[in-house]
Amino acid sequence: MANTNLFQGLRGRFLPPADTINEAGGPAYALGREHSLAQYAATGCLNGTFYASAEVQLDAVLALCEDVDPAFIARTAVYCRERGYMKDMPALLVAALTLRGPEHLPAVFGRVVDNGKMLRNVVQILRSGAVGRKSLGTRPKRLVQQWLNGAGERALLAASVGTRPSLADVVKMVHPKPAEAWRAAFFAWLIGKPYDPAALPPITQAYEAYKQARAEGRQAPVPEVPFQMLASLDLDAQAWAEVARQGGWQMVRMNLNTFARHGVFALPGMAEDIAAKLRDPAAIARARVFPYQLLAACQAAGDELPAVVRDALQDALELALANVPQVEGRMVVCPDVSGSMHSPVTGYRAGASSAVRCVDAAALVAATFLRKQPDTVVVPFKEDVVTLKLNPRDTVMTNAQKMAAIGAGGTDCSAPLAWLNHRRVSAELVMLVSDNQSWMDARHGATQTLREWERFKSRNPKARLVCLDMQPYARSQAPERDDILNIGGFSDSVFQVVAAFAAGQLQAGHWVGEISAVTL
């Protein structure tokens, strides 16, 4: 009989050796240029991360833009804005296209610049000189003019909130020539030029009338303008309550602490009214809510929020699970709880770092699948697997908080796979949710993660592995192939892509193939 130990050992030698070193100093596989650009675009927020500064990310993205086809840059910008809801990175890619692929700008600009904040982001990046120019140029200037001359009053008012540059700055830069009298009056009002008050559009007129009434000590209805435009008017609690009643679902979700600071929840019935809005299934569907947004709201909720509002956020998170697709077959989810995963998921930014850490988002993914599919096996890991008892019937928040509360440690991405192999667990899909900065299992040749995955595949030949990367490092513990998917980001599109991969519906190239399929 053949020496099984000998041939077991030989099998690993034919695996591809690691070809790079990750940021933690461990062996890894470098992603291709297109995949690397997509990884940065889907996970990077141009803030510092545990291992890389914002400047390093910016330099990496711009270098990759020099090496990939401009059409792929355009498709990546659209994908990460429309499906990943990213902000800074899609704006940076649009700015890069002004030099690398200006012929794609008309098809991409309106899909990425879908609100005034994105417009100001693109203008800010262009004017900074980061992509190699400090002026807008003829084509970008024309596209900005088209946006300004096509946006409705509400969109323009929303765009007027914010600085560096302000919307007034943008208008002064590009000199739009509006065809409508109301738009001409609005731009004049915006930049402080003389205008005809009767020509202002209705909401702006109502805002000016409200300011006049307050100056004269008269009562007037609160106009439906962005609440930031009202913040400087010293509103009382009743006025803030009206702002909350008028606000859309996302606006209310994002400003609960603001309402608490201004005494809204102290008014009779307001806590219950806001809670009812937050847990309204129809409003959740219209707002395209996915679990991460609600996790962020729960994490940011101040101590002064009433219990009924806190409970409504958790109810909303459970309702949002309806948007998570079912994955075929038995599933194993392995959230990384190591030290580097305790950094903010959107990176460090002085005075504005997210309260949500990478470990919170990883735990949320695991808890979401456990709640959706109760037979899911959850294996938290750091330098080794962490034993943790989870109840599939508990809420997503309860289980996510249990996992996120595990103390930090080193990183060994092969540990959960070794644990599965030791217990001879069977599954059709295994998902690692990590920043991929494995270093405690370093050895020559193939990564230990790939070695353990080969062992798992020998028992589960139809199994597939998903490596969901939470940070923009562009290196993986397992190379892309038919049974391995590397994907970046934590938006709701991740759930769709994972479900399609598990069902064998993705084309060759997997995630990059999904982006390449975007129609321009």
Its sign, for the CA torsion 305, 308, 311, 316, is negative
Q: Is the pLDDT of residue 352 over 90?
A: no
What's the mean pLDDT in 253-281? 95
What's the mean pLDDT in 30-38? 93
Burial label for 250, CB within 10 Å (0-12, 13-18, 19+), is middle
**Could you tell me which residue, 443 or 198, shows the higher pLDDT?**
198
State in words which class domain 326-516 has. alpha beta
Q: Is the pLDDT of residue 486 over 70?
A: yes
End-to-end CA distance of the chain: 60
Q: Is the pLDDT of residue 288 over 80?
A: no
What's the mean pLDDT in 10-19? 73
**Could you tell me which residue, 54 or 395, shows the higher pLDDT?**
395
pLDDT at 53: 77
Long-range pairs for 159-166: beta carbons < 8 A, 24 or more residues apart: 159/115, 159/116, 159/117, 159/119, 159/120, 160/116, 160/190, 160/226, 160/229, 161/116, 161/226, 161/228, 161/229, 162/116, 162/117, 162/120, 164/120, 164/124, 165/120, 165/123, 165/124, 165/127, 166/120
pLDDT at 105: 96
Average predicted confidence (pLDDT) for the chain: 90
Nearest CA to 361 out of 396, 389, 326 is that of 396
The answer to whether the beta carbons of residues 245 and 230 sit under 8 Å apart is: no
Q: Which of 184-188, 221-225, 241-245 has the highest mean pLDDT?
A: 184-188
pLDDT at 150: 97
pLDDT at 12: 46
pLDDT digits (tens, 9 = 90+) for 296-344: 888 888 889 999 999 999 999 888 887 788 898 999 999 999 999 988 8
**How far, in Å, CA of 290 to CA of 492, rounded?**
6
Q: Give percent above pLDDT 70 in the chain.
A: 94
Its sign, for the CA torsion 183, 184, 188, 189, is negative
The 3-state DSSP class for residue 334 equals strand
What's the mean pLDDT in 368-385? 94
Q: In which band, very low, low, confident or very high, does the pLDDT at 4 lie, cut at 50, 70 and 90?
A: very low
pLDDT digits (tens, 9 = 90+) for 424-466: 999 999 999 999 999 999 988 999 999 999 999 999 999 999 9
What's the mean pLDDT in 375-396? 94
pLDDT at 292: 78
- The answer to which of 58-62, 299-303, 366-370, 464-468 has the lowest mean pLDDT is 299-303
pLDDT at 473: 83
**How far, in Å, CA of 116 to CA of 434, rounded?**
33
Kindly report the pTM of this predicted structure. Answer: 0.87
**Could you tell me which residue, 159 or 46, shows the higher pLDDT?**
159
Q: In which band, very low, low, confident or very high, does the pLDDT at 69 lie, cut at 50, 70 and 90?
A: very high
Q: How far is CA 193 from the centre of its chain?
A: 39
Q: In which band, very low, low, confident or very high, does the pLDDT at 1 lie, cut at 50, 70 and 90?
A: very low
**Bridge pairing between strands 475-476 and 27-30:** antiparallel
Q: In which band, very low, low, confident or very high, does the pLDDT at 353 lie, cut at 50, 70 and 90?
A: low
